[in-house]
Amino acid sequence: MTAKKTTQRQGFKTNEYIVYPAHGVGQIMAIEEQEVAGAKLELFVINFVKDKMTLRVPTAKVAAVGMRKLAEGSLVKRALETLKGRARIKRTMWSRRAQEYEAKINSGDIVAIAEVVRDLFRSESQPEQSYSERQLYEAALDRLSREIAAVQHVTETEAVKEIEAALAKGPRRGPKPAADADAEAGEEAVEEEAA
């Protein structure tokens, strides 16, 4: 009986921080049993402090909803490297792009979320973002910083600083002297091989 229960829980434990795709980082507060329509159901009670929300997820459904453990350090490193890359903006209508960004944010995939932060980031010297761009950027930044903070045991503010430092290392979208662009391309190639 105990072995079956543990496999159903997919290795998740009480007090552990997890990532729930639609809401970001949460903490498993308890594992409780409820009787629903005559059947016993085991549930994870997950608290999302920032959203002041508690979610009850059947342990058997965690895979289906995409709940996962916090990213490994190596994956966080990949996300931070992604931030340093060149923004890839498709030339499609904003509504279509916005949907794609939204899907990436809600995928729970830390690297996909980092791509949204990178693509929507604006430095001081760049034109203002539209309201909807800003909203999506903030949402992606929030998800990314919360997970990095939880993985590295730092505050969200420190995580945001780390994200902004990585973004600052990325190529800016302004015109660039040709020599600089070549040197940068060379550096990126070296980094890829080392990874």
Judge if 40 and 119 occupy the same domain.
Answer: no
Judge if 99 and 49 occupy the same domain.
Answer: no
C-alpha closest to that of 108 among 18, 17, 19:
19
Judge if 56 and 89 occupy the same domain.
Answer: no
d(CA 84, CA 55) in angstroms, rounded, equals 35
State which of 69, 90, 124 marks the end of a domain: 69
Structural domain for 22, as ranges: 2-69
Judge if 55 and 116 occupy the same domain.
Answer: no
Judge if 127 and 89 occupy the same domain.
Answer: yes
Judge if 120 and 148 occupy the same domain.
Answer: yes
Q: Enter the pTM of the model.
A: 0.80
State which of 20, 49, 69 marks the end of a domain: 69
The total number of structural domains that make up the chain: 2
Judge if 96 and 60 occupy the same domain.
Answer: no
State which of 69, 104, 121 marks the end of a domain: 69
Judge if 117 and 181 occupy the same domain.
Answer: yes
DSSP 11: T
Judge if 80 and 155 occupy the same domain.
Answer: yes
d(CA 124, CA 76) in angstroms, rounded, equals 26
Q: What is the CATH number of the domain that holds 11?
A: 2.40.10.170
Judge if 144 and 180 occupy the same domain.
Answer: yes
- Per-residue confidence in pLDDT tens, the chain, 195 aa: 444 454 457 789 999 999 999 899 999 999 999 988 888 999 999 999 888 899 999 999 998 999 999 999 999 999 999 999 999 888 999 999 999 999 999 999 999 999 999 999 988 778 888 999 999 999 999 999 999 999 999 999 999 999 999 999 988 654 444 444 444 444 443 344 433
C-beta neighbour count of 147 within 10 angstroms: 25
Judge if 26 and 106 occupy the same domain.
Answer: no
Provide Rg for the chain, Cα atoms: 20
Judge if 91 and 186 occupy the same domain.
Answer: yes
